[in-house]
Amino acid sequence: MTKEAVQGATEEEQQAQSKKALKKQQKEAEKAAKKAEKQAKLDFAKDRYGVSAMVQSQQKLDRELVRVQDLTPEKADQLIWLRARVHTSRAKGKQCFLVLRQQQFNVQALVAVGDRASKQMVKFAANITKESIIDVEASVRKVEQKIESCSQQDVELHVERIFVISQAEPRLPLQLEDAVRPDGEGEEEGRATVNQDTKLDNRVIDLRTTTSQAIFRLQSGVCQLFRDTLTQKGFVEIQTPKIISAASEGGANVFTVSYFKTSAYLAQSPQLYKQMCICADFDKVFCVGPVFRAEDSNTHRHLTEFVGLDIEMAFNYHYHEVIDSITDTMVQIFKGLRDNFQTEIQTVNKQFPSEPFKFLEPTLRLEYTEGVAMLREAGVEMGDEDDLSTPNEKLLGRLVKEKYDTDFYVLDKYPLAVRPFYTMPDPNNAKYSNSYDMFMRGEEILSGAQRIHDAQLLTERATHHQIDLEKIKSYIDSFRFGAPPHGGGGIGLERVCMLYLGLHNVRQTSMFPRDPKRLTP
């Protein structure tokens, strides 16, 4: 074969090969197009689900988002948009059931293969991690059988669009359903419960539980009712300094902080400043603010920082005017909680069952000697001037409940020896004082008294308590220019919430608790 013939044959072969390659490429392209077409046909809903771009305020959508708590049978057959967290999800064949949560309310949602949702959409919904925040467009449907596991029991959502707004990591430090499980129930069924330290270490997750949401909404209500009631009574809200030059209570339980070239203290109470405001003719004042106690007490009811609800007022003739004002304020708070926070109370009760809180109008007031007599009758040995121990406080609370059917009462006329130096002595019996404590479910929530408003008597009492007069000079001086008779008290917000709800640890009612062992989060 000639050289030219060989060359021609090679060229023909090459042409045949390139034709073959071209055909193959064409076939593969057709195949891919068919596959894509098939895929598109299969996933007709691909624009109805997905992970949204991060919200960076790119656009203003004219879209109303409905609240979960507003999903009632009246909204049946309406198409709505909703933003919520994925509480739980459960895939079952061509369906996926989601429970969507918003604070203490939740609703069941269904993503099912149909003309609005594809197989892929159902799979996508089933794979959304718990606690992710999603937007859904859904139709509200009435249900024949109540959905017992959700707060919205009469309706469910039939999802038509679903978009992830913020994805949660797949591994959560604690499961919310474990965190709200009553202690006994978990042990019996072999299911997990979460201990308190784990909850507090992961407080952001724990605060999402229905129980925590209810506790802190009720706590907000206590503050609101406290402010509203006192404002209506003519009180003025004041703000007092928390960095002070001398210990407020004159005791050792005080935090020292460096203050430029000297030392200062964190206020143990707004005592001095409340009284100065009375001397400055504000007549009736209150404040809500942090109080610091450097007590190494690792008990169920002590914190090193708590919220103080403080009251101080001038009175005309008798310090019982002050007691009446404070007890009426407390009664208004109890009534407001009972009438406006039943949802929250019931939510907390599911995890921590307790008896409803009982109170009398007017509030029961017992003298200290009567309390001691009741304890002695119950077999307790104590002297007339002994202070009440915590077990005796609780026992007295039970005895008062049995006899008077109330969880809230006042114990008046405490022995002078167990009260602070600024407490007014009883004019009829030098062993006792014009001071009182208030109790809820057998635990003290308020300590108060008529204050000494005479500089000379105050100096004598401070000297008796061996307090350095130089350190409280500005306090004593504020009474040298005419001071009205006055009294007041300080209430611990977290304790009030704990005891009203019948909880067993003050850390449950402190959003980010501080105690001798905890400084974080």
253 shares a domain with 150: no
- Between CA 162 and CA 168, with CA 163 as vertex, the angle to 5 degrees is 120
In a domain, 114, yes or no: yes
Residue 408 sits in the same domain as residue 433: yes
Specify whether 349 is located in the same domain as 419: yes
Residues in the chain: 521
| Same domain membership, residue 409 and residue 373 | yes
Same-domain check for residues 147 and 185: no
Catalytic status, residue 269:
no
**β-strand partners of 133:** 85, 166
Which residue among 302, 338, 365, 514 is the active-site one?
A: 302
Q: Which of 137, 177, 249, 295 is catalytic?
A: 295
- Catalytic residue status for 295: yes
Q: Of 113, 137, 166, which marks where a domain is finished?
A: 166
Confidence of residue 513 (pLDDT cuts 50, 70, 90): very high
* Catalytic residue from among 83, 293, 461, 486: 293
Q: Which two tokens stand for residue 328?
A: 């009426």
Checking if the pLDDT of 178 tops 90, the result is yes
Same domain, 288 and 337: yes
Are 108 and 216 contained in the same domain? no
| Cα dihedral sign, 18-21-27-31 | negative
> Which of the following is catalytic: 151, 248, 435, 447?
447
Instruction: Quote the tokens at residue 457.
Output: 């008597």
Query: CA 235 → CA 313, 319, 321, distances in Å?
Result: 8, 17, 14
SS (H, E, C) 66-118: CCHHHCCHHHCCCEEEEEEEEEEEEEECCEEEEEEEECCEEEEEEEECCCCCC
Question: 329 by DSSP, 3-state: which?
Answer: helix
77 and 186 part of one domain: no
Q: Is 365 a catalytic residue?
A: no
Residues 279 and 395 in one domain: yes
Residues 240, 270 contacting (CB under 8 angstroms) = yes
Average pLDDT, the chain: 92
Complete edge-to-edge strand list for the sheet that includes strand 243-244: 243-244, 262-266, 256-259
Q: Let me know if 186 is exposed, middle or buried by CB neighbors in 10 A (0-12, 13-18, 19+).
A: middle
CATH number at residue 237: 3.30.930.10
Question: Does the annotation count 83 as an active-site position?
Answer: no
Q: Do both 387 and 297 map to the same domain?
A: yes
Which has the minimum average pLDDT: 249-258, 280-289, 376-385? 249-258
- 127-159: per-residue pLDDT in tens? 999 999 999 999 999 999 999 999 999 999 999
Residue 10 has pLDDT above 70, yes or no: no
pLDDT band, very low/low/confident/very high, at 11 (cuts 50, 70, 90): low
* SS3 of residue 29 by DSSP: helix
Domain assignment present for residue 12? The answer is no
Judge contact between 312 and 285, C-beta under 8 A: yes
Query: Which residues constitute the domain of residue 184?
Result: 176-208
In a domain, 7, yes or no: no
Q: Does residue 191 sit in the same domain as residue 237?
A: no
- 22 assigned to some structural domain: no
Residues 452-486 have pLDDT tens digits of 999 999 999 999 998 888 888 888 999 999 999 99
| CA nearest neighbour of 246 among 236, 261, 256 | 256
- Active site includes 57? no
Question: pTM (2 decimals)?
Answer: 0.87
CATH label of the domain that carries residue 113: 2.40.50.140
Q: Sorting pLDDT into bands at 50, 70 and 90, what band is 339?
A: very high
Tokens 């509030």 map to which residue? Answer: 363
Q: Kindly state whether residues 220 and 250 are assigned to the same domain.
A: yes
**CA proximity to 212, closest of 443, 521, 495, 512:** 512
Which of the residues 156, 344, 393, 444 is marked catalytic? 444
Order of strands across the sheet with 486-492?
236-237, 284-292, 305-314, 486-492, 443-450, 435-440, 408-412, 364-367
Q: Point out the catalytic residue in the list 87, 116, 495, 507.
A: 495
Closest CA to 368 of 386, 348, 342: 386
Residue 18 belongs to some domain of the structure: no
Domain count, the chain: 3
Give per-residue burial for 249-266: e unless 16+ CB within 10 Å, then b: bbeeebeeeeeeeeebbb
In a domain, 244, yes or no: yes
Structure tokens at 223: 């503050």
pLDDT band at 246; cut points 50, 70, 90 = confident
Instruction: Return the number of other C-beta atoms located less than 10 Å from residue 79's C-beta.
Output: 12
* DSSP-assigned letter for residue 314: E
Tokens linked to 194 = 């979460």
Residue 518 lies in a domain: no
How far is CA 161 from its chain centroid?
Answer: 33
Tokens for 132, please give them: 């992710």
Is 16 a domain residue?
no
What's the confidence (pLDDT) of residue 8? 61
Of the residues 87, 116, 301, 486, only one is catalytic, namely 301
151, 187, 106, 195: which is closest to 508 by C-alpha?
Answer: 195
Amino acid at 93: G
pLDDT, one tens digit per residue, over 63-112 is: 999 999 999 999 999 999 999 999 999 998 899 999 999 998 999 999 99
If DSSP codes are grouped into helix, strand and coil, which group holds residue 502? coil
Cβ neighbourhood burial of 407 (10 Å; 0-12, 13-18, 19+): buried
Q: What is the mean pLDDT of residues 326-347?
A: 97
Check if 248 is active-site. Answer: no
Residue 179 has pLDDT above 80, yes or no: yes
pLDDT exceeds cutoff 90 at 28: no
495 is catalytic: yes
